[in-house]
Amino acid sequence: IVNIKPEDVCILGATGSIGTNTLDVIRRHPDKYQVFALTAHRNIEQLKLQCVEFKPKYAVLPEAELAQELQSFVEYKELDITVLHGVDSLDFVASHESVDTVMAAIVGAAGLLPTLAAAKAGKKVLLANKEALVMSGAIFMDAVKKHGATLLPIDSEHNAIFQCLPEHFVEKGIEECGIHNIVLTGSGGPFLKKTLAEFPAITPDEACAHPNWDMGRKISVDSATMMNKGLELIEACWLFDVKPEQIEVVLHPQSIIHSMVRYNDGSVLAQMGNPDMRTPIAHAMAFPDRVDAGVAPLDFMEISQLTFDRPSKERYPCLALASEAMKQGGNSPTRLNAANEVAVQAFLDEKLGFTQIAELIQQTLTSTEYAEVSTLESVLAADKEARERAQQLVEEMTA
Ligand code: NAD
Ligand code: MG
């Protein structure tokens, strides 16, 4: 028996839906994984419990005050944990030489810099934080290549596509592998059947009640508008080096098929499973091996049917906005993502109605400048400008 040291894992966004599912997979395999660092934003009570159970070397919070509270707790419990605060500390733990694997599970643009730091440090990067890739596209992918990082998708659709692609797709490219296109499936969210006339009255809690997945509030709203599928389309273009035209979005309300790859010989490969994020998380953590994820076996008799449909443009305008932004290229996906983050937050704060989310994004895109992006600075500048403009528009719309 060879005694191999467990992999050291850094979890960015440990207290969220992806973070806690990641810790559940780690909990099942203490011989394979150990926690090196945990980071959180506001949910300090959850972080305290995680510190007690997983005993990381580092725990990070953005704000000094919360970090002080955690520090007192760590001393009281006599835990050997270094508590850090500030955004630079996120980069520090994500790129620390002791870390093997970084789970990028912060929501939104706040995750970009630490995720990029992990890529630049050549880590195994498990990417849940799709907004980071949508914002920075080529810059992120270049950093992965240049620094020899391993990028594995956690988003269930991209993880499914990855599983359905041949191993050599990275070297050969999609076309050389005889692939016709990628079929990106989406449930259509909670409002698949609601009449359009009822859309303006949708509340945040209704939008966050997803029929199949239990997720953070931001991605839940994105799923309801299908901006999530739009962001995923952009994410797939970067991850698999394809164009938006090579991706077909199909509604599949049961969320059993997580996405598919269509080959030129008529074969279609699909990855299936119960809708439980521990499957893609365990897949990426153990890749290329497989480990138990704690997910119930798929019971075909219980599912009984799988259905498919076309997404309607009237119901899901955000999907077209995202696809258009990707076709435009340059800073358009960055501006789209920034406007969406502001719009979703305003909707959650009950400042905007549900249908105003798409309107706000569209108006932000038409009233901010298109530009090429070649540096991280230009990405951050486009993000800032679009955020400010979107915030102004929120105020105009609510005035
Ligand atoms: P969540 O809201 O449940 O958790 C977000 C985490 O990020 C929390 O730990 C929070 O503390 C941290 N965080 C939030 N704002 C931060 C900030 N400004 N600075 C530092 N940390 C901050 O979200 P989630 O559902 O776990 O999603 C996380 C990411 O994974 C998102 O990008 C989402 O799109 C993606 N994702 C989630 C799922 C899912 O099933 N939940 C599926 C696919 C992809
Ligand atoms: Mg997804």
Alpha-carbon dihedral angle through residues 230, 117, 286, 19, given to the nearest 10 degrees: -70
Return phi, psi of residue 114, to 5°: -65, -35
Percent of the chain with pLDDT over 90: 95
What is the reported pLDDT for 236? 98
* Cβ 12 under 6 angstroms from ligand 1: no
According to the annotation, is 43 in a ligand binding site? Answer: yes
Read off the pTM: 0.98
pLDDT at 2 over 70: no
**CA 82/CA 65 separation, integer angstroms:** 15
CA-nearest residue for atom 20, ligand 1, is 41
Pairing of strands 33-39, 7-12: parallel
Does 225 reside within a domain? no
In 3D, which of 25, 75, 76 has the Cα closest to residue 54? 25
Interval between CA 77 and ligand 2 midpoint (Å): 38
Task: Please write the tens of the pLDDT for every residue from 103-131.
Answer: 999 999 999 999 999 999 999 999 999 99
Domain count of the fold of the chain: 1
| Domain containing residue 142 | 7-153
Helix axes 227-240, 332-348, angle to 10 degrees: 150
Residue among 107, 184, 234 whose CB has most ligand 1 atoms within 8 A, to mutate: 107
Q: Are strands 179-186 and 101-104 parallel, antiparallel or unpaired?
A: unpaired
SS3 of the chain: the string is CCCCCCEEEEEECCCCHHHHHHHHHHHHCCCCEEEEEEECCCCHHHHHHHHHHHCCCEEEECCHHHHHHHHHHHHHCCCCCEEEECHHHHHHHHCCCCCCEEEECCCCHHHHHHHHHHHHCCCEEEECCHHHHHHHHHHHHHHHHHCCCEEEECCHHHHHHHHHCCCCHHHHCCCCCCEEEEEEEECCHHHCCCCHHHHHHCCHHHHHCCCCCCCCHHHHHHHHHCHHHHHHHHHHHHHHCCCHHHEEEEECCCCCEEEEEEECCCCEEEEECCCCCHHHHHHHHHCCCCCCCCCCCCCHHHHCCCCCECCCCCCCHHHHHHHHHHHHCCCHHHHHHHHHHHHHHHHHCCCCCCCHHHHHHHHHHHCCCCCCCCCHHHHHHHHHHHHHHHHHHHHHHHC
Whether 335 is in the pocket of ligand 1, judged by its Cβ within 6 Å, is no
CA of 157 to the centre of ligand 2 (A): 5
**Domain assignment present for 74:** yes
- The yes/no answer to whether this complex scores an ipTM above 0.90 is yes
pLDDT tens-place string over residues 224-236: 999 999 999 999 9
Q: How many CA atoms lie within 13 A of 22 on its CB side?
A: 32
**For residue 18, which amino acid is it?**
I
- Nearest residue to 319 via CA among 246, 389, 257, 244: 244
**Closest-approaching ligand to the CA atom of 219:** 1
Q: What is the pLDDT of residue 95?
A: 98
* 144 in a structural domain: yes
* Residue 211's pLDDT band (cuts 50, 70, 90): confident
Q: Say yes or no: CB of residue 213 within 6 Å of ligand 1.
A: yes
Residues measured by CB to lie within 5 Å of ligand 2, the ion: 155-157
What mean pLDDT value characterizes the chain?
A: 97
Of the pLDDT bands very low, low, confident and very high (cuts 50, 70, 90), residue 188 is: very high
Q: Tell how far the Cα of 272 is from the centroid of ligand 2, in angstroms.
A: 14
Return d(Cα 74, Cα 60) in angstroms, integer.
12
Question: Does 354 map to a domain?
Answer: no
pLDDT digits (tens, 9 = 90+) for 352-381: 999 999 999 999 999 999 999 999 999 999
- Whether residue 317 is contained in a domain is answered as no
pLDDT digits (tens, 9 = 90+) for 129-164: 999 999 999 999 999 999 999 999 999 999 999 999
Is residue 297 one of the residues assigned to a domain? no
Q: Using the Cα atoms of residue 3, residue 9, residue 14 and residue 17 in order, give the sign of their dihedral.
A: negative
pLDDT for the residue numbered 170: 87
Residue 283 is assigned to a structural domain of this protein: no
When pLDDT is cut at 50, 70 and 90, the band that residue 56 belongs to is very high
Is 39 among the domain residues?
yes
CATH of the domain at 31: 3.40.50.720
- What is the structure's pLDDT at 1? 61
Residue 33 pairs in a beta bridge with: 7
